[in-house]
Every structure is written in structure tokens, then in C-alpha cells.
Amino acid sequence: MALERSSGPAPSVVGAPPGARRPRRQRCAQPPVPTCLVQDSQPLKGSRQVKGRCRRVVTRRGPNSPAHRPPSQVAERGSGVSRPIGASVGIGPPSAPGGVDRKIKLQSHGAIASGQRRTTMEPTIRTFRDYASDSIGNLVLGEGFPPDPDIRPGIIAILDVLSAYFEEGKRLYPEVVVTSSIDGLVAFLPGYRIVMVGEGPPEQGTYQKALKTCAPLAQNGWAIALQVSSERLKYGILTAETSPISPALWRLVVGDLAEYGSDPEPRVAMLRSLGQNTVEIRGRRAALQLVFSVRVAAPHDASPRDVVLDQLVRDIGEESRDKVRAFLQRVLEDAFRGGHGCLIGVVDDADDSVRGLRQDFPDAHHLSVPISLGKVLVECETQNTIRSATELRLAAEVVTNMINHDGIAVFTSSGRLIAFNLFVPKPDEVRTMGGARSRAFEQMRSSSRFICCFIRSQDGAMRVWRSQQ
């Protein structure tokens, strides 16, 4: 900051030795920013503001002492430590000749050693891909797929998209079957149908194109089929459903109904989304779940979904229990995919339990005629008509919508839906982390009406409680 000397003769000083001159007054040639004279939220003594411009009178203490330090340095108060702050004006400490115990700061507030510049530390970048790549590669090789360098990146790209796949604003949950031979796979699938769509070189772009093309088609029992090899990648859609009571495709391909015997062919793995930010890759020998989150899931002795399914079919006869359980599992999976979390309560299949539920929660929507999916399923299997199949499909759809409705959906231990839109009061003594759904789950556990309580959060996390009585 340039300083100008005042013009005109300097008057003499009364009581001073002969020849002494009055200290010269100096003023700023350019008006500084008003905040330059503020330290610790207080204006400097001796400064004044005239017509929006700050002026500061600086007085020399000696005839040969400088009025200010160089602009590149300013001293900390009473410390003598210099630091560069760009275009700033500093006044030295009292120990410096002619210094004043004040400093003027224009830009910087940090103490940096002289001659150094403040630098930004570059962050270390880590992605979930770094941690999942080795696990996926080991599973693919363990299933016997060829060590092609493009298979693992292609599968990782598909899993990344499946974790939160949207098409024109709609959430989709396509299932993907990866195999070394489609012809060898369908030989083990009864009543299969397949539609081949395209093919291309075995590179990551072809994997992404296959998913983009086939995902809108892979709904209502259809899945994406990929045949991988070192020469070409072929893709299409595949189904094995012959009726509404047909088992899910993943059970036939990599589940409990898969029947490949000792033949190592075909090499097969199935990819699917289990909810928001949660995907699964399952082969004939191993399975891997990937959670795109930093939360720690609480361990369970069994899957929460399996526990609630066991309670939903507890009082169903053994001749149809497995079929009803498999169908209820499909209904629950559809509900999980289409909703934003849900609460399910199970009560004993007894008149006293149903009557007590009505008395304790009169504001809920209690069905005068419960929906029994097990009964409709048995009728469909026995009659084997278009009408019975349609009734089963409509019943499953309305049960799915009631599960995804606000509040709690209540079933009996024989799989009958008896109430939905049920809310439990929140007493003052209930303290839990989470939102209203988590608080309702804790209150359900303390209620004597429920023998099993199940919660699924929007992020896919599931918890279950079961009465030990």
C-alpha cells in the first residue's frame, strides 16, 4: 500500500529542541477495505471513517524508523513471527523500532511459516469396487467360468447398476442369469421359453448394452440370460413359469430345486437385487451378498425373511405347507421390491387372538373376510383353470399392496391376511433409534398380541422378532 506525505511546511513543536519538526502525517493513497482496520471485532484506535472510506493516521516513533513493514510480511502480536498474507500492510511489534502493537489483516487468518503457501491435501479414493472385485472374481472362478479378463468387470458393472436400477423414473428389479451355455441350462428347466435379443464382443460395453436392452423386458417371471465365452456374448430373456404356482426361476437355477447332478456343466450364476443398495450373486457352489452401505448388519441365526415365513405357515398342513411357503415368499419379494419398507405382524390363528386384535386396535382396517393365499393356491392347483389362476394372481397383488400400505399388515399363523393399516401407540417409555417404523416395531415386540414381528427398512435392512412361548 503506497503512502503519501502531507504537503506544506511542518510547524514547529512547542517545548522541543531547536530544529525539531512535528511528526509528518501520512495517509493512504488508496482507500483500504473497511475491515482492514478491524481486529478481534474492534476498530483500531485512531482510525476514522469519512464518507465510506477508512483512514488511519500512522505516527513515526523516530526520525529514521520505518512506518510499516514490507507488504509480504506481518508480525503476530507480541510474537515476532512473520507470515506472508499477500497484499497486506503490517505494523511491527513494540520491540521493533518504530513499531505499533497492532496489525492490519486484509486476506489471511492462518499462521503459515514465512515463504510457504497453503496447499490442499489430495484425498485417498476408495470405492466399493475395490473391495468387491476380488470376492466376485473368486466366486466366478470357483464356479468354473473361464478366466476371461472381461467376465469379472462385466459382472461388477451389472451388479453396480442392479443395486439401484431405474428406467425412465421407474425402479426395476431384473434378475440376470449368467451361464456358459444356454442350451445346457434349459435342458434342466421344465417348460422353459427363451427369446434371444442380440450378441456382441465380450467386453464391458456389451454387458451394459444387454442390461439396458433387456431390463425393461425382464418382468413378471422373465429374467435376463447371458451366455459368456471368450469369443462372443449372447443375451436375451428367459422364463420357466408354466402357471402362477410355478417355483421362482432362481430356485430352479441356483436354489433348492436345481438338479444338475454331478455334471459340472453348465457353469451358471444368478444376479439379483434384494433391495435398495443390496445385491446378490449366487452360483451352484457359493453365494455372495454385497451391501453398498457403511452400516453394520446385525447377525442373525437365520434369515429374518425365513423366520417370518416359517411363522406364516406354522399352522398349515404338511401336504401343502411347502407350496404355500414358496408362494408367500414370492409375494413378500414382490412387496419388498415395490415398496419403501414394511411392517408385518403374525398372530395365532385362533378366534380369541383375532378378536383381541380387533379390541386392542379398533382403528385398523380389519377384513370381514380374510384373504387366504394358501386356500386360493390349493384351489388353483386342483382346478387348473384360467379363472382359478386369475383369482390367485389378483389375490397376490392385493396382498402385496396391503403389505406396502402405511402401517402394519397382520397375518395369522395359517397365512391369512386379517388386517392392514394398523398403527400402534407410542408410549413415552419407548426409546429407540430410527423413525416411526422402527418405533412401531419395538412396540409390537412389547405387545402380547403378536407371536412374530418383522420389519424391512427402506435401505433393505431386515429384523425379526419371534415369541419364545
The domains of the chain, with CATH numbers, are: 1-112 (no CATH), 128-291 (3.40.1700), 304-466 (3.40.1700.10)
Nearest-angstrom CA–CA distance, 429 and 173 = 40
- At residue 369, the pLDDT reads 92
- At residue 440, the pLDDT reads 84
pLDDT per position as a tens digit, 3-58: 444 445 555 555 555 655 555 655 555 555 444 333 344 444 444 444 444 444 44
Average pLDDT rounded to a whole number, residues 409-421? 92
pLDDT-above-90 percentage for the chain: 18
Cis bond before residue 71 (omega within 30° of 0) = no
Residues 461, 305 contacting (CB under 8 angstroms): no
The CA–CA distances, whole Å, from 418 to 21, 85, 356, 369, 451 equal 104, 74, 12, 8, 15
Q: How do 223-227 and 193-200 pair as beta strands?
A: unpaired
pLDDT per position as a tens digit, 309-336: 999 999 998 888 888 988 898 888 888 8
pLDDT per position as a tens digit, 63-86: 444 444 454 444 444 444 444 444
- Report the half-sphere exposure of 108 (CA within 13 A, side-chain side): 21
Supply the pTM of this predicted model. Answer: 0.62
Average pLDDT rounded to a whole number, residues 81-96? 43
- At residue 293, the pLDDT reads 65
Average pLDDT rounded to a whole number, residues 217-244? 88
- At residue 274, the pLDDT reads 75
Nearest-angstrom CA–CA distance, 180 and 176 = 13
pLDDT per position as a tens digit, 128-183: 667 777 888 888 888 888 777 778 888 888 888 887 788 877 778 889 999 988 98
Contacts of 70 (CB under 8 A, 6+ apart): none
Average pLDDT rounded to a whole number, residues 190-202? 90
Residue 326 CB coordination number (10 Å): 20
Average pLDDT rounded to a whole number, residues 335-343? 80
The residue assigned the cell 415365513 is 309
Residues 280, 231 contacting (CB under 8 angstroms): no
